[in-house]
Amino acid sequence: MSDFASFDAARTQVIDFAPGDIVTESGTGPIKLYSRDEVHTAIVDGVTMAADEAHLSHKGDRFTWAISAVMTYLDAPSAPWAEVKNRHYTPTQDTAADDESPQYTREQVSQAVNNGVDKAAERIGRRRFPDDLDNLVVNAALTLLDAPEADFHAVVVECYSDSPRVVRSWL
């Protein structure tokens, strides 16, 4: 009996990573890691996309607080709101020597983005729960993390079962 007799092609999964991607191994296979800079770029670009589609300034409180919260929760998922406030009110954003080092899993980034946007919506007194615009920020940021060239149409196709026109009407 050959070593290939027990090979099951149906259980083979092909994973496509771009050249230069940093991956690590887990019990289930390779995992791509993201840097703080990549996450920051994705959330800022996601906020900008959502604000543009809603015809709002991306410098409004709902968006700037969300960015501060996401970046705080990326490094400290259980940080108190006071840490978010400190980051938000710091005149120059802090930088770390490892900003370009891939160190965060997709799950960690997703948790920081979701928690940051939700907590910002709650804490700045806008609403108790996130709305459709907040959800677009999350979906755009997470899509842009893997596809930085994605536009609004690509985000909608990836994340919603409705057309871009319908999604835009929710904003």
**Per-residue pLDDT tens over the stretch 100-144:** 889 999 999 999 999 999 999 998 876 666 789 999 999 999 999
Could you tell me if residue 51 is inside a domain?
yes
Question: Residue 75 belongs to what domain range?
Answer: 31-170
Question: If DSSP states are collapsed to H, E and C, what string results for the chain?
Answer: CCHHHHCCHHHCCCCCCCCCCCEEEECCEEEECECHHHHHHHHHHHHHHHHHHHCCCCCCHHHHHHHHHHHHHHHCCCCCHHHHHHHHHCCCCCCCCCCCCCCECHHHHHHHHHHHHHHHHHHCCCCCCCCHHHHHHHHHHHHHHHCCCCCHHHHHHHHCCCCHHHHHHHC
Could you tell me if residue 12 is inside a domain?
no
Which amino acid, 64? T
Q: How many residues belong to the chain?
A: 171
Largest separation between any pair of C-alpha atoms in the chain: 69
* pLDDT above 80 (res 23): no
Provide the whole-model pTM.
Answer: 0.79
Could you tell me if residue 75 is inside a domain?
yes
Place of tokens 């009996």: 1
Could you tell me if residue 15 is inside a domain?
no
Could you tell me if residue 100 is inside a domain?
yes
How many domains are contained in the chain? Answer: 1
| Residue with more model confidence, 161 or 95 | 161
Q: List pLDDT tens digits, range 28-52.
A: 668 899 999 999 999 999 999 999 9
Could you tell me if residue 9 is inside a domain?
no
Could you tell me if residue 24 is inside a domain?
no
**What's the mean pLDDT when you consider all of the chain?**
85
Could you tell me if residue 106 is inside a domain?
yes
Percent of the chain with pLDDT over 70: 77
